[in-house]
Structures are given as C-alpha cells and as structure tokens.
C-alpha cells in the first residue's frame, strides 16, 4: 500500500500521541520503557506548536491506511558553529517496517535539510537494532563512533552508534 510523507500539523496531535505511544511500547531501543510515555494533549500540542513554527526543526509523518504509521524528528541548533548539522530520530510501527517508509522519511529530511542549509545529518542507533542500522547504512550514513553504555534497558547497558551523512 502507498504511504504519504508530509510535515506534521497541529491537527495531528491526538494521532501523533497514539503513534508515539505505540512505537515506544513495541520497540526495545527507544528512550521510554513500555507505558512510560503518557503526555497530556496540551503538552504535546504546545510542543508541536513550537516545532511547527520553528525554522530550525520539523517533524515528518508517514500516513498509510488512514493512520499515522511513522515519524521523523529533525532538530538543529541555533549556535553558528553547529547550525549546519541536524539530528534525526525515526520511528516506524513494527507492522509497517521494511516497506520503504523509513527511507522515504530520511529522503524527506534530506530535502528539508538542503533547503535549510544543513550539511550534516546525524543519528544515534543501538547496534542491536539491526533494522535501524541497515536503514541508515542503506541511506549512505556512516558509523562515526560508538557511545558505550549509553542506555540502560531492562538491566542491561547498551551502546549507541553515532551515524552521520554529509550532504554536499
């Protein structure tokens, strides 16, 4: 089935909360434990409003089957020395993984980045999250380093790869 990639809008707030909750609950490598992400609609609405009106960040969502199935957060910094780089976080519902949605989100982020004079896109990925590592490698991201014991999940420490791509 076809998916539609677009920037988020404020009307998406409730569906976006459902999307994040689902992804955080079914993924082993996010910052949240299952059930830990419980924001209010007003707090997410305020957060989305700041992102939507900011020239330095955005959120892309993927729609399929009349629902939100994936997202890509993009953030940058205001500091002159680092404003040429963006940080990306991607989440795709398990049922919709391996269908090209993650790559489509990365492509949208790259287009946005080029339009915003971004030269470098960076992501952090747990090495055990093989699908995510493969996704970023498939989009020509390179592993630049490893942060040891960055996450503590269910009694185990996990490292994170720093993966990046230069847009020339």
Left, alpha or beta for 87 (phi > 0: left; psi -120 to 50: alpha)?
A: beta
126: domain CATH number is 3.40.630.30
- Mean of the pLDDT values across residues 77-82? 92
Q: pLDDT, tens digit, for every residue of 114-160?
A: 999 999 999 999 999 999 999 999 999 999 999 999 999 999 999 99
* Distances from the Cα of 65 to the Cα of 76, 96, 147, 153, 163, angstroms: 31, 10, 37, 32, 31
pLDDT band at residue 54 under the 50/70/90 scheme:
very high
Half-sphere exposure of 42 (CA within 13 A, CB side): 0
* Residues 121, 76: Cα–Cα separation, whole Å: 9
* Distances from the Cα of 47 to the Cα of 21, 60, 144, angstroms: 16, 14, 31
Count of domains in the chain?
A: 1
Q: pLDDT, tens digit, for every residue of 58-71?
A: 999 999 988 999 99
What was the pLDDT predicted at 36?
82
State the residue range of the domain holding 134.
4-166
- Mean of the pLDDT values across residues 79-83? 94
pLDDT band at residue 1 under the 50/70/90 scheme:
low
CB 76 within 8 A of CB 85: yes
CB 165 within 8 A of CB 106: no
What was the pLDDT predicted at 76?
95
What was the pLDDT predicted at 6?
98
Percent of the chain residues past pLDDT 90, beyond the cut: 86
Q: pLDDT, tens digit, for every residue of 82-113?
A: 999 999 999 999 999 999 999 999 999 999 99
């Amino acid at each position: 089935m076809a998916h539609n990639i677009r920037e988020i809008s404020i009307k998406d707030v409730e569906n976006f909360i459902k999307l994040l909750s689902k992804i955080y609950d079914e993924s082993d490598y996010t910052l949240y434990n299952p059930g830990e992400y419980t924001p209010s609609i007003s707090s997410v609405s305020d957060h989305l409003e700041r992102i939507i009106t900011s020239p330095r960040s955005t959120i892309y969502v993927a729609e399929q089957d009349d629902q939100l199935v994936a997202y890509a957060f993009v953030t940058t910094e205001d500091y002159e020395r680092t404003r040429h780089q963006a940080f990306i976080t991607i989440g795709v519902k398990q049922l919709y993984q391996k269908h090209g949605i993650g790559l489509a989100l990365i492509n949208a982020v790259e287009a946005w980045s080029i339009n915003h004079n971004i030269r470098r896109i960076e992501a952090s990925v747990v090495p055990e999250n093989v699908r995510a590592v493969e996704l970023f490698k498939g989009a020509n991201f390179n592993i630049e380093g490893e942060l040891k014991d960055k996450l503590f999940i269910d009694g185990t420490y996990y490292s994170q790869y720093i993966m990046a791509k230069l847009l020339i």
